[in-house]
Chain A
Amino acid sequence: MIPVEYYVGLSAILFLIGGIGFLVRRNVLVALMSIEVMLNATNLALVAFNRQHAQVHTGQVLSFFVIAVAAAEAAVGLAIVLSFFRLKRTVRSDEADLLRN
């Protein structure tokens, strides 16, 4: 059996990739994808830890919730991106400064 540390390590690497991607990339679609990567990193950690406890399924159930929320978030996020594109003819996030100051 693969030890849990490997899963957690992978999860951490994925989370870092997602976080850095979100912070660095200017394309809103890429930022959304980065968020998805982060969410799935947490899902991986949840499922991995859940395997330590044979009788309990809390972690798995929680990961389902996260998937559902991620789906909803993606839908809303894409809708926002669409209307943002209609408004500004671009999907660069640093162009979205209507709420500045």
Chain B
Amino acid sequence: MTKTTTREIPGYIQSAIVVSLIYFFLVGVSSLETGIKILGSDTQESLFSAASNPIAALCIGVLGTVLVQSSSASTSVIVGLVASGALGVDDAVPMIMGANIGTTVTNTLVSLGHIRQSGEFRRAFAAAAVHDFFNVLAVMILLPLELAFGIISSVAEWVSGRLVGTAGTEWKSPVKVWVKEPVGWIQSFWEAVGATDGFRGVLMIGTGLVIILLALTLITRNMRALVADRVERAVNALLSRGGGVVAIVIGAIITVAVQSSSITTSILIPLAGAGVITLRNAYPVTLGANIGTTITALLASLAASSPESLTVALAHTTFNIYGIAVLYGLPFLRDIPIRLAEGLAGLAVKNGSAAVAYVVFSFVVLPLIGVVILG
């Protein structure tokens, strides 16, 4: 007697659509890289000089990600910038860390939707804030260590060197060859409409950004529909067995599948608000989402022509693995993000406008101040 809504597009067609969209995404990354190269080294230097200060670079990463509401998109752009040579690995790593912080704004905004029900809001806001606090604490611990000892970039460089060669060499990525032709078409199109060198570079960057954002949005939408039943089963399995390392793995798998950590973490918010999942069990899933979301930058690095782009993508993965190893792996640190999130949620319940102020100040005002003062 139960009649539920079924998916209208067959799975195999949706899979083919996703593969095509991934191809367009890679074309977008390559267009971006080409556009920046066309701009020339002087323009590149003046554009990205602000990123030479690591705190400013961190703030740029936060703002950029808040703007596009997707760390997958912002880290893919960073990979494109590194591939073009406009941005060095050392400058890109703090930006990547900023992207990790910026992506948490989406689920925090989702949690604000529960503001009218205090009990529900307390649980939902805490589930969102635990992701914020974890990512901020990870940056507070790992950024100084990276700046002092290069603990993240050295590992990423080592892995990248084993996979595609050392920095400064030209990497003949097969994916780069596949996307070369459509990128050439885009370039020819802007040439045909009469765009001169510098302006053509800007247009190529703009086209690349539009393609990246559009492709990622459509990939996420299609993948979400394609794997919804699997995600549902995985979440149900998670509810019956609790959190822990397995929850991290499930969070990572779901995020890889839907190509968006925001989707994974935003699914958790209504569940936490309804009391279906506890904060303690939601927490490791968000950590898995942190790892899962790095797949997009790794994918983007396949369309780039320098080993440095893969190094930056691997730095994103390494940073998140280190973060989990330190903050979740060490039992005496594990509960700190939970306690902070519960404390902030308590304050947010007492004063709803404080929650809104927290979002605006943490994700917009503070990073803007950082960029203006230090950039």
| A interacts with B | no
B residues adjacent to A (C-beta < 8 A) = none
Binding site for B on A (CB under 8 A): none
